[in-house]
């Protein structure tokens, strides 16, 4: 059965409106927050700028932070009662989980993620339209010479880690993703490929 993203969006938008007395949103097994994309973009790109000629280090740290987050987040997501109730009935095979994760990412406002190719255990290609990172970079800075969607790059690696890495929590960073197409570089969409680092 194909994943019905609308059901996930509905759960996020409605669940996201339920606030307990502490102002905390516990949803899909994590504590969720809603804030301006400008905050996240400024943090990433100013951090990169502040590291100057150690820019590559900033990039690696931001991707790692996102991959570790994606790993813990989607583990929480797939163990939540919301996943059990809403997503699991639409999953026929292990690989369908990636469609489920992509639908959650879409619902969270990260962009329109589509699985272009999946070779089980080996490689995942994700295409993203409307990544807020690429949009934010283009709004604030000149056209980039490299991919700028560090969060989605880390998240793509995390999806593969969860499916084909060691059992949680030992499988993080089994895969590593690159962004070879990015709207911030002038490409039509952003594209991420996750592989095992030794490949």
Binding mask 13-52 for another protein (x = CB under 8 A): x--xx-x-xxxxx----xxxxxxxxxxx-xx--xx--xx-
Which tokens is 155 given? 């998240």
State which residue, 53 or 198, has the beta carbon closest to another protein: 53
Least CB distance to another protein at residue 44 (A): 8
DSSP type of residue 143: P
DSSP type of residue 142: P
Secondary structure (DSSP) of 132-172: HHHHHHHHHSPPPSS---HHHHHHHHHHHHHHHSSSTTS-T
Among 7, 55, 69, 91, binds another protein (CB under 8 A): 69
Q: Can you tell me the distance from the alpha carbon of 79 to that of 136, in angstroms, rounded to the nearest whole number?
A: 32
- Interface with another protein, residue 149, by CB under 8 A: no
Q: Can you tell me the distance from the alpha carbon of 1 to that of 3, in angstroms, rounded to the nearest whole number?
A: 7
Q: Among all chains, which residue has been given the structure tokens 């929590």?
A: 169
CA neighbor of 49 nearest in space, from 110, 137, 123? 137
Interactions with another protein, residue window 73-102 (CB under 8 A): 73, 76
Which tokens is 33 given? 């927050």
Least CB distance to another protein at residue 13 (A): 7
Among 55, 65, 95, 187, binds another protein (CB under 8 A): 65
Binding segment toward another protein, per CB under 8 A, in 64-72, 78-86, 160-168, 175-183: 64-72
Which tokens is 126 given? 């994700």
Q: Which residues contact 185 (CB under 8 A, 6 or more apart)?
A: 143, 144, 145, 146, 147, 148
Among 83, 132, 175, 192, binds another protein (CB under 8 A): 132
Least CB distance to another protein at residue 154 (A): 9
Among 111, 147, 157, 165, binds another protein (CB under 8 A): 111
Least CB distance to another protein at residue 195 (A): 23
Strand, coil or helix: 99:
helix
Q: Residues interacting with another protein, by CB under 8 A?
A: 9, 12-13, 16-17, 19, 21-25, 30-40, 42-43, 46-47, 50-51, 57-58, 61-62, 64-66, 68-69, 72-73, 76, 106-112, 129-130, 132, 135, 151
């Amino acid at each position: 059965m194909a994943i019905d993203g609308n059901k996930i969006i509905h759960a996020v938008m409605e669940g996201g409106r339920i606030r307990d007395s502490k102002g905390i949103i516990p949803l899909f097994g994590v504590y969720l927050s809603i804030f301006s994309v400008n905050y996240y973009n400024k943090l990433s790109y100013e951090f990169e700028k502040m590291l100057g000629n150690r820019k590559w280090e900033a990039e690696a740290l931001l991707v790692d932070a996102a991959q570790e987050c994606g790993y813990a987040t989607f583990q929480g997501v797939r163990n939540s009662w919301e996943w059990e109730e809403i997503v699991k009935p639409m999953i026929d095979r292990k690989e369908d989980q990636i469609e489920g994760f992509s639908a959650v990412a879409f619902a969270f406002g990260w962009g329109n993620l589509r699985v272009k190719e999946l070779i089980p255990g080996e490689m995942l290609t994700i295409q993203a339209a409307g990544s807020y990172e690429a949009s934010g970079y283009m709004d604030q800075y000149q056209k980039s010479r490299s991919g700028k969607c560090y969060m989605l790059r880390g998240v793509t690696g995390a999806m593969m880690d969860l499916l084909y890495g060691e059992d949680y929590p030992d499988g993080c960073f089994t895969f590593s993703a690159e962004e070879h197409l990015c709207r911030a570089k002038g490409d039509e969409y952003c594209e991420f490929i996750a592989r095992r680092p030794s490949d």
